[in-house]
Amino acid sequence: MDTRQMVDMQNYSTLFSLFDRYHNFALSTHINPDGDAIGSELGLYLFLTGLGKSVKMFNTDAVPVNYRFLPFWDSIESTHSVGTYQPEVLIVLDASTLERIGKALAKTLHPTHSLINIDHHATAEAFGDINLIVPSASSTSEIVYKLIKYHQTPIDKACALCLYTGLMFDTGCFRHSNTTAETHQIAAELIEIGEFAPDEVYRNVYEHVPVAKIHLLSEVLRTLQVTDDGKIASVYVTQTMFRKTGTTADAVEGIVNQIQAIAGVEVALCASEMMDRSTKVSLRSQGCVDVSQLAAEFEGGGHARAAGCRITMPYLLAIAALIQAAQRYIHPSPVEQGDYQKD
């Protein structure tokens, strides 16, 4: 075991002592849950129930249809189900702030003893009593995988499928820069244990696209604009488009990745007009610009290559502000360049 593993081991051990001490656990994850959110939540649920714990899961938003092939997805309850229930330990997964689980849920769900935060976002806040934040991990599912390994508990079939799904999703099917030899090794082990067909997992997650989403995509692609230097591409989605195509905000997921694929584009952004006329923005980078910094300028966060923020401006103004800010990262002024070289 190397030094890094020793340090990890100590962090995980603090959690294990809570697993020994308490019996009632609740799990939650971020709003608009994605594959890693659901995968890590169900994976940890299966591990803890396997230890004989009483575990409840509460999410603000329903499990997206394409993750309903995962075991126990229908055990995830809504905010309304919390009532007066109080777990001894609340574990929040894949959420960089506590509010990311949803404001109402964050106000309703309180542990009597300990709040644990498990996350891999570089901008994660240490809002827990115990914070297992591992920015080097590809996904929260990978952290949960390691947690179970360090605990020396065998991973069961159902758990392997959930964690694999999270790992696959957050690495963009093993093509993003967070994909390493280790990610592939973990994936291989999970496939062996889970005895599932990886191509079926892929199809379940990505190839059940409702036709309404493709109609929305065609509307959105018509709004494509690329800056003169070819480095910033943007699209937007309006409430009118949602109404016209019969879709909701969750149909926007993935569109920004298509914009990012344009040759020469460094920063891609997809802006969604929200009901309250504020703008939700997804940002992607090819690597030169750290979009988590760009998002942070607008009180958002995320990863260097994938981030997001919400701006209280109409979408066209929000896009203009973001493009202006992004230009500074792509073409730093001589002063900023000087500062940069000093570091």
Least distance in Å: CB of 61 to Mn ion? 15
93 or 217: whose CB is closer to Mn ion?
93
- Residue type at 314? P
165 or 234: whose CB is closer to Mn ion?
165
**Could you say whether residue 41 binds Mn ion (CB under 5 A)?**
no
Q: Which of 27, 28, 29, 36 binds Mn ion (CB under 5 A)?
A: 36
Rounded CA gap, 45 and 73, in Å?
10
Identify residues 130-149 at the interface with Mn ion (CB under 5 A): 139-140
Q: How many residues bind Mn ion (CB under 5 A)?
A: 5
Other C-beta atoms closer than 10 Å to the C-beta of 156 total 15
**Could you say whether residue 61 binds Mn ion (CB under 5 A)?**
no
Least distance in Å: CB of 176 to Mn ion? 11
Segment interacting with Mn ion (CB under 5 A) among 17-25, 51-59, 60-68, 163-171? 163-171
114 or 140: whose CB is closer to Mn ion?
140
Least distance in Å: CB of 140 to Mn ion? 5
Q: How many residues does the chain have?
A: 343
Q: What's the token pair of residue 310?
A: 């919400």
Cβ pair 133, 126 in contact under 8 A:
yes
SS3 sequence, 75-126?
HEECHHHCCCCCCCEEEEECCCCHHHHCHHHHHHCCCCCEEEEEECCCCCCC
316-280-220-122 Cα dihedral, nearest 10 degrees: 120
Least distance in Å: CB of 244 to Mn ion? 32
Other C-beta atoms closer than 10 Å to the C-beta of 150 total 17
Q: What's the token pair of residue 208?
A: 């059940």
Least distance in Å: CB of 37 to Mn ion? 7
Gyration radius (Cα) of the chain, Å: 20
Q: Which of 8, 61, 170, 273 binds Mn ion (CB under 5 A)?
A: 170
**Could you say whether residue 94 binds Mn ion (CB under 5 A)?**
yes
257 or 278: whose CB is closer to Mn ion?
257
Segment interacting with Mn ion (CB under 5 A) among 35-43, 58-66, 107-115, 123-131? 35-43
Query: Where does this chain bind Mn ion (CB under 5 A)?
Result: 36, 94, 139-140, 170
